[in-house]
Amino acid sequence: MNREVLLADDEVTFRETFAKVLREEDISVTVVGNGTDALDAVTKQPFGVVVLDIRMPGADGIKVLREIMRIRPETRVIMVTAYGTVEMAVEAIKLGACDYVMKPVVMDDVLTKIRQNMKYLDLQEENKKLKQELTRRFDISQIIGKSPAMQNVFEMIRKVAPTKSNVLITGKSGTGKELVARAIHSLAAQYSRHFLAVNCSAIPEGLLESELFGHKKGSFTSAIRDKEGLFKSACGGTLFLDEIGHMPMSCQVKLLRAVEQRQIIPVGSTQPIDIDLRLMAATNKDLPKEIKAGRFREDLYYRMNVVGIHLPELCERKEDIPLLVEHFIKQFNSEMGKTCVGVSDAVMRLFMSYDWKGNIRELENVIERASIFAEDDVIKISDIGLLGSHAMGLSKEDETLQTAAKAYEKEYIRRVLSKHDWNKVDAAKALNVGLSSLYRKIDELEIDSRKPKRSKANNQ
């Protein structure tokens, strides 16, 4: 939430004096002297609070207020009025202004009103974060798994959640590291506030320090205002540093201070800020190897790895695949309005024999794709698609190249038929084969080329 103040008033002495007072209170302020400049300012950027004179050249305060309420309705507007324009001030309140002050202005009164509105914005932002968090909260039962490896993970989650200890979650991509972090956060009663997650590998090295620790206005070229970093925003809640193994060494030094001292220093500042939060991190890298290679600090590793939770790959917990399949089918049934009840035996055999390099995320994607194309209540091999049936078929050790090629050809012809609404003449043209050749392939490959009947549910 932006915390900058816009001061719009045509009286030069008042403008300059009050701007100086605000800056001495460490409040960032932009000053304009007429309604036209005020309109231009609110169009270009958001302001937390606008102090707006009703009588100004260019465009009066009422016109500027209407525009603010149209494009920035979350902005808190305080109107400045003389005795003769009290009625206009009342009209301004009806239009969306939150308060007004009378001239001659008492600086302390306006300053108090600005602070009150800043606190209001803070509460609004907090409520917004809490509402977002409530829609995403879940308990540990939403992490699917009955295998011994996952039962061990569940037990560690339950034990570490009530503590304030740092947690390092390791595992290959797609194993559910963020789900575990969210489960720990949800079970921690003393940290009932927001959960903030940042992917350290997704932010350019030059911006990561500012994102994490914040910066002061003017600390670098594009720092046009103060910025609160994620460490400060997450106070009272949980900060989850995903892919911490990709964090550059320069940021690791500052992170170590934050972990050890529970303090951060924004970029361009010399004043430390105390922080109180739950810190968790995750990585798909082998951090001990990264330490030996000089790419990760050993002291930071031990500070973060107070409690280490390792997530097994899906190929190491194959007994969980049927449960995960059932879970994802229910999920996509709900999202897509489908009525799938499960997968065929052939599909389940393929799932159980596949090596799942992309882990749970890959399985979820396969089920999503199948849910889109499935035309019956049971997902079949033909619904899995080229990525599924062809790749999985090749993963079986006893399959020949001829068998794999045949499976690919069958699936491809079926997809072309489906694309052309099962019109064999159009499909033959698309395949660049004669109609008789297409019929021969349909018989040879045992393709069900009849147009599927739409279910009553789909017709409603």
User: Helices (DSSP H) in 96-176: which residue ranges?
Assistant: 107-136, 148-160
Write out the two tokens for 417.
């038929």
Rounded to 5 degrees, what are φ and ψ at 275?
-130, 145
Count how many Cα atoms sit within 13 Å of the Cα of residue 361 in the half-sphere of its side chain: 11
Write out the two tokens for 339.
């009525």
Count how many Cα atoms sit within 13 Å of the Cα of residue 347 in the half-sphere of its side chain: 21
Mean pLDDT computed over 240-250: 93
Place of tokens 């605000």: 22
Mean pLDDT computed over 343-366: 88
Place of tokens 């889109």: 372
Q: Which of 340, 343, 357, 416 is nearest to 392 (CA)?
A: 357
Rounded to 5 degrees, what are φ and ψ at 137?
-70, 150
Q: 39-48, 116-125, 157-166, 258-267: lowest mean pLDDT where? A: 116-125
The angle that helices 148-160 and 177-187 make with each other, rounded to 10 degrees, is 40
Topology adopted by domain 146-312: Rossmann fold (3.40.50)
CATH class of 5-129: alpha beta
How far, in Å, CA of 268 to CA of 193, rounded? 29
Q: Which of 139, 133, 187 is nearest to 160 (CA)?
A: 187
Mean pLDDT computed over 89-95: 84
Write out the two tokens for 408.
């690919």
Indicate if the pLDDT at residue 252 is higher than 60. Answer: yes
| Those residues with Cβ within 8 angstroms of residue 429's Cβ, 6 or more apart along the chain or in another chain | none
Indicate if the pLDDT at residue 382 is higher than 60. Answer: yes
Q: Which of 57, 33, 42 is nearest to 5 (CA)?
A: 42
Centre a 10 Å sphere on the Cβ of residue 68 and count the other Cβ atoms it contains: 26
Q: Which of 256, 282, 252, 260 is nearest to 182 (CA)?
A: 282
| Those residues with Cβ within 8 angstroms of residue 310's Cβ, 6 or more apart along the chain or in another chain | 169, 170, 171
User: Is the whole-model pTM more than 0.75?
Assistant: no
Whether domain 316-459 has CATH 1.10.3720.10: no
Q: Which of 331, 304, 307, 312 is nearest to 188 (CA)?
A: 307
Q: Do domains 5-129 and 316-459 have the same CATH topology?
A: no
The whole-number pLDDT of residue 83 equals 64
Q: What is the pLDDT of residues 6-32, one digit of tens each?
A: 999 988 988 889 999 999 888 899 999
Contact 360, 325 (CB under 8 A): no
Indicate if the pLDDT at residue 259 is higher than 50. Answer: yes
Write out the two tokens for 46.
């958001």
Q: Could you say which DSSP state residue 388 is in? A: I
Q: What is the pLDDT of residues 292-328, one digit of tens each?
A: 999 999 999 999 999 999 999 999 999 999 999 999 9
Name the average pLDDT for the chain: 84
Three-state secondary-structure class, residue 407: helix
> In which band, very low, low, confident or very high, does the pLDDT at 192 lie, cut at 50, 70 and 90?
low
Q: What is the pLDDT of residues 426-455, one digit of tens each?
A: 888 888 888 888 888 888 888 877 766 544
> In which band, very low, low, confident or very high, does the pLDDT at 387 lie, cut at 50, 70 and 90?
very low
Q: Could you say which DSSP state residue 389 is in? A: I
The whole-number pLDDT of residue 332 equals 93
Contact 5, 22 (CB under 8 A): yes
How far, in Å, CA of 436 to CA of 443, rounded? 11
| Those residues with Cβ within 8 angstroms of residue 135's Cβ, 6 or more apart along the chain or in another chain | none
How far, in Å, CA of 118 to CA of 368, rounded? 45
> In which band, very low, low, confident or very high, does the pLDDT at 220 lie, cut at 50, 70 and 90?
confident
The rounded radius of gyration (Å) of the Cα atoms in the chain is 30
The whole-number pLDDT of residue 393 equals 47
> In which band, very low, low, confident or very high, does the pLDDT at 367 lie, cut at 50, 70 and 90?
very high
From its phi and psi, is residue 350 left (phi > 0), alpha (psi between -120 and 50) or beta?
alpha
User: Could you state, in order of their start, the residue ranges of all structural domains in the chain?
Assistant: 5-129, 146-312, 316-459
Mean pLDDT computed over 71-100: 84
